[in-house]
Amino acid sequence: MFTIIRCGSLFDGKADVAQKNQTIVVNQGLIEWIGSSDAAPKAKDGDTVLDHSDSFALPGLIDLHTHLAYGNAKSEENIDLYAPMEFRALRAMFFAQQVVAAGYTSICSPGDAGRISLSVRDAIRAGLFPGPRVMAAGPYLTSRQGLADWYPSWIGTPDTSVGRLIRSVDEGIEEARRQIKDGVDCIKIAMDGRMKRQDGEFMAAFNQQELDTMVTEIHRLGRKVIVHARGREATLYSARAKVDMIFHASYMDDECLEAILKNKCVICPTLTFLRHDIDFTQPTDQAYQEGRSDASEEEFTIACKALSRAYKAGVPILPGTDSGFALTPYGEWHAKELDIFVKHLGMTPAQALRSATSESAKFLSYGAEVGSLEPGKQADIVIVDGDPLRDVSVLMERKRILAVYKSGEAADLRPRKYNPRQVSDFSHQWWSDLYTRERVEQLFGQKQPGQLHAGQTRPGQRVA
């Protein structure tokens, strides 16, 4: 019994153009035949025919940077502390399904607390729940100078954090071995964070020798290494150590680029996060008050210049969004990265779409099965109203995503309501302002609340 999918146009994930009037024949989740509808095998009794002959088909999309367990968090504390691991895993499953509904049938979840991403991966793989294919990491390996050691040294990294504090190479190797025993597909290392030297340069969290030793051992055990590296030094050490994928690489220079090319690293710049920090952050947000939006704008400009050069030089630039933060909620903005690739890195729409399909698939642990529409591959297919080869931003419009098939099975695309206040935002910050007399006067003028006359109400007060 076959599923026969008729498509108006089809982009196979590899070509420069779409083919018109194509048919895909699916047998037990795999593509059995693909080609012109005129030459397609006729449907027999019991076959299912899906008519998308007015629409555009492309391979299921891939986001290499989606943190399943972050829960659309507004703070690191909310990522790490305020929800039990069990709740985070259930929440991750819900959000994983939102990712599929956006057309993203494969993700890499590079760094989550405990074994959350592994468990979500395994439950989906076992058929317990619908959801995307997941390449999963465990907690980041971090030093005290790395991204994931958020807390003061007198607190350390709690067990429920996305980071695991590594105090020596031996500890790093032991942690990697433990994670690999537990079943991770890749190891994430925080190669820098927010700490800078006095000259303003981001400092790498591990030195060259430490990183070399850890990467060599992880590779010996057959797993890929992903690093967070914004700064020049961390990017350079990572490239020299032959890590597989570098997140960000915003401040890479010629020396970095040379090492990246020599050792065939790929870059997942995750520009959506920076872009949203610039475009969405409001003056009332802490991030704005700390000057993060301005810093992001500067980084975005520098990164786009460096990444365009790297792309022209032949470095694969692959899409990821850091979905899982309040700036990048699951299922909403995954295709924004492709739009940025076109508008800011000079990719054609076809190049951007290839990066999100066949090129990204090369990185995935299960990549041989996905990333293009051809016989023998999984029937992971997105049906779109519009032509993403002309304008990739159509992929961001919910109503344009008409159907998503994973192994030939239709995903549920209906928006599902939930109460965001019961999902994240559990930290104990109750006010975002400081109510000195001066501030209160700024806010309310002379007529200060608290001096209300009988019958007056304060803003927001319930009236019986």
Among 322, 337, 339, 380, binds Zn ion (CB under 5 A): 322
Contact assessment for residue 223 and residue 185, using Cβ atoms and an 8 Å cutoff: yes
Query: Measured from the CB of residue 65, what is the shortest distance to Zn ion in angstroms?
Result: 5
Tracing tokens 């790297």 back to the chain, one arrives at 310
Contact segment (CB under 5 A) with Zn ion among 9-17, 77-85, 158-166, 320-328 equals 320-328
Any alpha helices (H) in 314-428, and if so which ranges?
336-345, 349-354, 360-361
- Show the tokens assigned to 392: 């990739």
Is residue 318 within 8 Å of 359, Cβ to Cβ? yes
Using the rule CB under 5 A, give the single segment among 21-29, 308-316, 319-327, 448-456 that binds Zn ion: 319-327
Residue nearest to Zn ion (CB): 322
Strand intervals (E) in 345-395: 381-384
Report in angstroms how near the CB of residue 212 gets to Zn ion at its nearest: 23
Which listed range, 176-184, 316-324, 339-347, 394-402, lies at the site for Zn ion (CB under 5 A)? 316-324
CA distances, 457 to each of 50, 79, 437, 443 (Å): 60, 37, 20, 16
Would strands 381-384 and 401-406 be described as parallel, antiparallel, or unpaired? antiparallel
- DSSP state at residue 45: T
Residues 47-106 that bind Zn ion (CB under 5 A): none
Instruction: Tell me how far the alpha carbon of residue 201 is from its chain's centroid.
Output: 26
| Contact region with Zn ion (CB under 5 A), list: 30-38, 170-178, 315-323, 371-379 | 315-323
Footprint of Zn ion on residues 254-313 (CB under 5 A)?
Answer: none
* Cβ distance to Zn ion smaller for residue 55 or 145: 145
Q: At closest approach, how far in Å is the CB of 189 from Zn ion?
A: 12
Calculate the alpha carbon distances from 437 to 85, 165, 434, 442, 458 in Å: 42, 43, 9, 9, 17
* C-beta of 109 vs 293, nearer to Zn ion: 109
At closest approach, how far in Å is the CB of 440 from Zn ion?
Answer: 39
- How many residues bind Zn ion, per CB under 5 A? 1
- Contact string 158-197 vs Zn ion (x = CB under 5 A): ----------------------------------------
- How far apart CA 65 and CA 367 sit, in angstroms, is 15
Taking the least distance from each CB to Zn ion, the nearer of 299 and 322 is 322
Query: Closer to Zn ion at the Cβ: 149 or 322?
Result: 322
Helix residue spans in 205-335 (DSSP H): 208-220, 232-240, 254-262, 271-280, 286-289, 292-313
Nearer Cβ to Zn ion (59/163): 163
CB of 270 to Zn ion, least distance (A): 7
Instruction: Print the binding letters for residues 206-245 with Zn ion: x by CB under 5 A, - otherwise.
Output: ----------------------------------------
Amino acid at the residue 277: D
The residues binding Zn ion (CB under 5 A) are: 322
